[in-house]
Amino acid sequence: MINMRYFCSMFENQERTEIDQLGEFALIEHLTAKFQLENEGIIVPLGDDAAVFKSDENTVYSTDMLVEGIHFDLSYVPLKHLGYKAAVVNISDIAAMNARCRYLSLNIAISNRFSAEALEEFYAGFSLACERYKVTLIGGDTSASQSGMVISVSAIGYADEKRIARRNSAKENDLLIVSGDLGGAFMGLQVLEREKAVFVDNPEIQPDLEGNDYILERQLKPEARVDIVEMLEELGVVPTSMIDISDGLASECHHIAKQSEVGIAIYEEKIPIDPMTHSRARDFELDPTTCALNGGEDYELLFTVKQEDWDKIKGNPNMTAIGHITDKNSGLQLITQSGNSHPIEAQGWNHFSSEDEG
Ligand code: ADP
Ligand code: MG
């Protein structure tokens, strides 16, 4: 699925149209031409001084920035995937409020090392996510950059007030649930970093990504769990708190614990880990549980529900109960198979330190 011709793909484009050749206005027109810009809520679409859209529900807003060299490495991230991911991470933030994303805006700064074709790839990925998640692009801005690529996306969504799920409202004895499986995106990144190191040492050697499709997709083409938001509504469950897993399970648990003023107990054997993540972690001599706890970018939803809602959720293959909420003084504890308790430290991703702690 992940095609290796993408390695350093942006420098291998056969056609190359300089951005100055097109001019800013033609460029924007060209890039946004393939988007569905109108929908029933839009009064004035992208292209004017500002967009106008109707909103008669509670408006949910979020914004995120992706910086080259900090959040992504273009030597192995295909621009199309990056465009897709830039949209998805914002759609995921809206989903994490138990809300639905409707609109996105996209700001982008690029240096002249990017051709119009490279940008087109990025926009193709972004537009694919817009179609897939039924989200409309309502605006953006374009600027030159002296060095790397900077992407900033803002998302607007809607939520029924009674269904909004915050980080600060988990209560003692609530169950802790996670969607999907964890640690895959992190193991995908390890494989890509390993192959990059091999490639840098000897560009003649073709990167070996065989047999890693699932974890590479988890890293390069994550999905936002809007399906979970819909399922919870159908099941008649309002989570008592919710967050999306961008920095790792441990870090997100710390956010919920701190803001809700509670403790959390997680059972190690319950943490869902895909067999491929597990075996690749072993190959890299990493502990699979640590990868699930501290590896980020899975974009799964982590939420709490009242015990009485468990019957509605149990048996659903998309959701796993991994622990429960305890009192504040108990802190964050990982309970191992043998029944021992270990405090969980939040590592997350510290972009400001020179060494990655993750
Ligand atoms: P202004 O000078 O008023 O900011 P722009 O020329 O920057 O106008 O933008 C014109 C229109 O194109 C606006 O509707 C804006 O939202 C949209 N736009 C500009 N850049 C982008 C971009 N990179 N992606 C999507 N839409 C964009
Ligand atoms: Mg502008």
Q: Is the dihedral of CA 71, 73, 79, 81 positive or negative?
A: negative
Residue 28 CA to ligand 1 centre (angstroms): 7
Average pLDDT over every residue of 96-105: 98
CA atoms within 13 A on the CB side of 271: 25
Indicate which residue's Cα is closest to atom 10 of ligand 1: 47
* Residue 332, strand partner residues: 264
Tell me the pLDDT band of 14, cut-offs 50, 70 and 90.
Answer: low
Rounded percentage of the chain residues whose pLDDT exceeds 70 = 92
Q: Torsions phi, psi of 278, nearest 5?
A: -60, -50
The per-residue pLDDT for 354 is 41
Q: Whose Cα sits closest to atom 25 in ligand 1?
A: 140
Higher pLDDT, 15 or 201: 201
Task: Please give the Cα distance from 64 to 80 (Å, whole number).
Answer: 18
Say whether pLDDT at 6 is over 50: no
> What does each C-alpha distance from 97 to 77, 130, 203, 231, 300 come to in angstroms?
28, 19, 45, 14, 13
| Burial class (CB within 10 angstroms; exposed 0-12, middle 13-18, buried 19+) of 259 | middle
Q: What digits encode the pLDDT tens for the residues 214-261?
A: 999 999 999 999 999 999 999 999 999 999 999 999 999 999 999 999
pLDDT of residue 355: 40
Q: Amino acid identity of 86?
A: A
268-297 tens-digit pLDDT: 999 999 999 999 999 999 999 999 999 999
Give the ligand whose atoms come closest to the C-alpha of residue 126. 1
Q: How does the average pLDDT of the chain come out, rounded?
A: 91
How many angstroms is it from 141 CA to the middle of ligand 2? 5
pLDDT of residue 40: 87
Q: In angstroms, what is the span from residue 29 Cα to ligand 1's centroid?
A: 9
Encoded tokens for 7? 């390695």
Residue of the CA atom closest to atom 27 of ligand 1: 140
pLDDT at 12 over 70: no
Would you say 104 and 87 are in contact if contact means Cβ atoms under 8 Å apart?
yes
C-alpha–C-alpha distance, residues 104 and 71, integer Å: 20
Q: Distance between CA 288 and CA 189 in Å, rounded? A: 14
Sequence-ordered alpha helix ranges (H) in the chain: 19-22, 24-32, 79-95, 116-132, 184-201, 213-220, 226-235, 249-260, 275-283, 288-294, 310-313
Is 102 in contact with 157 (CB distance < 8 Å)?
Answer: yes
Could you report how far apart the first and last alpha carbons of the chain are, in Å? 27
Among protein residues, the one whose CA lies closest to atom 11 of ligand 1 = 47
CB atoms within 10 A of CB 154: 18
User: Which residues face 67 on adjacent strands?
Assistant: 150
Cα(18) to centroid of ligand 2, in Å?
Answer: 20
Ligand 1 pocket test: pick from 28, 30, 108 the residue with the most ligand atoms within 8 Å of its Cβ.
28
Of residues 107 and 201, more confidence is placed in 107
Ligand showing the shortest atom-to-Cα distance for residue 47: 1
CA 137, CA 120: separation in Å to the nearest integer?
A: 15
Tokens standing for residue 248: 């790792």
- pLDDT for 352 equals 52
- Per-residue CA distances from 75 to 70, 96, 144, 193, 195 (Å): 13, 30, 20, 10, 11
Q: According to the model, what pLDDT value does residue 149 have?
A: 96
- The CA–CA distances, whole Å, from 103 to 61, 123, 130 equal 10, 16, 9
Q: Is the pLDDT of residue 348 over 50?
A: no
pLDDT > 90 fraction of the chain, expressed in percent and rounded: 78
Please report the pLDDT score of residue 147 as a whole number. Answer: 86
Encode pLDDT of 111-135 as tens digits.
888 999 999 999 999 999 999 999 9
Q: Which of 46, 150, 153 to mutate to test the pocket of ligand 1 (most atoms within 8 A of CB)?
A: 46
Mean pLDDT of 332-351: 81
Residue 356: predicted pLDDT: 38
Burial class of residue 271, CB neighbours in 10 A (0-12, 13-18, 19+): buried
